[in-house]
């Protein structure tokens, strides 16, 4: 099975448990207004590589993973290359390497995606907004599909971390954060929730591609405010879990 890889980060520490090699696959059906990697959108770009060759390359980093680390597939949207990802994760599992999927969960559940989830150990799931209108307007995704995907993760009991970018004036309200905590509490697969600060380091990519960055007019999120919101979220989630 041949896939297309945009890039590989050999040793990452923010894309799943422990130290991880992160593979960014090419292709994404979404056009999120805050996308940090517009250079991964094109499904025909990137390096063509066989799953076996990629697995061999990734196995070279195994000594750095420790007991918690492994390989994370990101993008782009890795679900667009579900067959390739599935074969890769099969090969990694044979080598005892932990696999994580960093996804928007935006595609319809198909047998190919089901086969991928069969060999997925951990999921990082972006839940970008809390209402259907904003989801559709600012990402092109349908919230219902994301929730269906999350319910499938519950059914399969795959440990899942929810993630959301804190965007000033868009997702930085207390109500937004508390709503995300309540969603997490409703799904037994969720083992954590992480807030990420909105940044504009991607501006140079948009300039190189000669396309506008839709949120260039907004300020970046302050670290102190993101920490406050994360503490608020964690406290509310703990309270919800205690009251169950």
**The domain that contains 16 carries what CATH number?**
3.20.20.70
| CB of 76 closer than 8 Å to CB of 3 | no
Q: With helix as H, strand as E and coil as C, how does 129-156 read?
A: CCCHHHHHHHHCCCHHHHHHHHHHHHHH
Q: Are 37 and 46 in contact (CB under 8 A)?
A: no
Q: What is the DSSP letter of 17?
A: S
Specify the pLDDT at position 243: 66
pLDDT tens profile 36-49: 999 999 999 999 99
Query: Which pLDDT value is given to residue 212?
Result: 96
Tell me the mean pLDDT in the region 136-149. Answer: 95
Q: Please state the domain count of the chain.
A: 1
Q: Return the pLDDT at 130.
A: 87
Determine the Cα–Cα distance for residues 68 and 60; give it in Å rounded to an integer. Answer: 16
Query: Domain range holding 43?
Result: 2-242
Helices (H), 11-142: 51-59, 62-65, 82-94, 111-118, 132-139
Report the chain's mean pLDDT, rounded to a whole number: 95
Angstrom distance (rounded) from CA 232 to CA 175: 10
Asked if residue 96 has pLDDT above 70, the reply is yes
């Amino acid at each position: 099975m041949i896939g297309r890889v945009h890039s590989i980060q050999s040793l990452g520490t923010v894309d799943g448990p422990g130290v991880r090699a992160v593979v960014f696959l090419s292709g994404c059906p979404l056009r999120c207004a805050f996308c940090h990697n517009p250079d991964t959108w094109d499904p025909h770009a990137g390096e063509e590589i066989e799953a076996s060759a990629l697995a061999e390359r990734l196995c070279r980093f195994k000594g750095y993973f420790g007991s918690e680390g492994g390989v994370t597939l990101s993008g782009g949207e890795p679900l667009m290359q579900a067959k390739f990802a599935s074969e890769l994760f099969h090969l990694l599992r044979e080598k005892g390497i932990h696999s994580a999927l960093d996804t928007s969960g935006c595609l319809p559940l198909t047998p190919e995606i089901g086969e991928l989830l069969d060999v997925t150990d951990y999921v990082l799931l972006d839940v970008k907004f809390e209402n259907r209108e904003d989801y559709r307007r600012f990402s092109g995704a349908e919230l219902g599909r994301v929730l269906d995907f999350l319910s499938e993760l519950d059914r399969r009991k795959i440990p899942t971390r929810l993630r959301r970018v804190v965007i000033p004036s868009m997702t930085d309200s207390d109500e937004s954060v508390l709503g995300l905590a309540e969603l997490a509490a409703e799904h037994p697969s969720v083992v954590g929730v992480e807030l990420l600060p909105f940044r504009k380091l991607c501006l140079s990519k948009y300039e190189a591609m000669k396309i506008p960055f839709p949120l260039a007019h907004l300020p970046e999120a302050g670290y102190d405010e993101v920490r406050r919101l994360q503490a608020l979220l964690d406290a509310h989630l703990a309270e919800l879990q205690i009251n169950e």
